[in-house]
Amino acid sequence: MKKPQVFVTRKLTDEVVAMLETVATVDMWTPDYPIPRDLLLERTRHAHAVLAMLTERIDEELLTRAQQLRIVANMAVGYDNIDLAACKKHGVVVTNTPDVLTEATADLAFALLMATGRRLTEANRFLLNGEWTSWSPMLLAGQNIFGTTLGIIGMGRIGEAVASRAKGFGMRILYHNRNRKHKAEEETGAHWAELAALLQESDYVLLLTPLTEETRHLMGEREFSLMKETAVFINVSRGGTVDEAALYNALVEKRIWAAGLDVFQVEPVSLDNPLLRLPNVVALPHIGSATLQTRLDMARLAAANIVAVLNGKEPLTAL
Query: How near is the Cβ of 241 to ligand DGY at its closest, in Å?
Result: 12
Nearer to ligand DGY, 155 or 227 (CB): 155
Stretch that binds ligand DGY, among 4-12, 72-80, 194-202, 304-312 (CB under 6 A): 72-80
Interface residue with ligand DGY, options 142, 159, 260, 288 (CB under 6 A): 288
Backbone angles phi, psi at 250, to 5 degrees: -60, -35
Annotate each residue in 8-47 with x if it binds ligand DGY (CB under 6 A) or - if it does not, as one string: ----------------------------------------
Instruction: Tell me, yes or no, if 286 is annotated catalytic.
Output: yes
Annotate each residue in 124-143 with x if it binds ligand DGY (CB under 6 A) or - if it does not, as one string: --------------------
Nearer to ligand DGY, 41 or 290 (CB): 290
**Do the Cβ atoms of 161 and 111 come closer than 8 Å?**
no
Burial (0-12, 13-18, 19+ Cβ within 10 Å), 151: buried
Nearer to ligand DGY, 9 or 289 (CB): 289
Helix (H, G, I), strand (E, B) or coil at 165: helix
Interface residue with ligand DGY, options 35, 77, 87, 231 (CB under 6 A): 77
Count of other CB atoms within 10 angstroms of residue 213: 6
Instruction: Tell me, yes or no, if 118 is annotated catalytic.
Output: no
Count of other CB atoms within 10 angstroms of residue 214: 9
Kindly compute the dihedral angle of the four CA atoms of residues 261, 266, 268, 270, in this order, to the nearest 10 degrees: -90
Query: How near is the Cβ of 185 to ligand DGY at its closest, in Å?
Result: 25
Question: Out of 238, 244, 295, 300, which one is annotated catalytic?
Answer: 238
Interface residue with ligand DGY, options 23, 47, 76, 258 (CB under 6 A): 76
d(CA 282, CA 30): 31
Interface residue with ligand DGY, options 44, 209, 289, 317 (CB under 6 A): 289
Query: How near is the Cβ of 176 to ligand DGY at its closest, in Å?
Result: 20
Nearer to ligand DGY, 236 or 251 (CB): 236
Interface residue with ligand DGY, options 6, 12, 49, 101 (CB under 6 A): 101
d(CA 264, CA 139): 30
d(CA 261, CA 317): 28
> Which residue's CB comes closest to ligand DGY?
78
The string of DSSP codes covering 212-244 is -TTTTT-B-HHHHHHS-TT-EEEE-S-GGGB-H
Instruction: Tell me, yes or no, if 238 is annotated catalytic.
Output: yes
Task: Classify residue 151 by its DSSP letter.
Answer: E
Q: Which of 140, 156, 121 is nearest to 284 (CA)?
A: 121
d(CA 257, CA 122): 14
Number of residues located near ligand DGY, criterion CB under 6 A: 7
Catalytic residues: 238, 267, 286
Chain residues binding ligand DGY by CB under 6 A are 54, 76-78, 101, 288-289
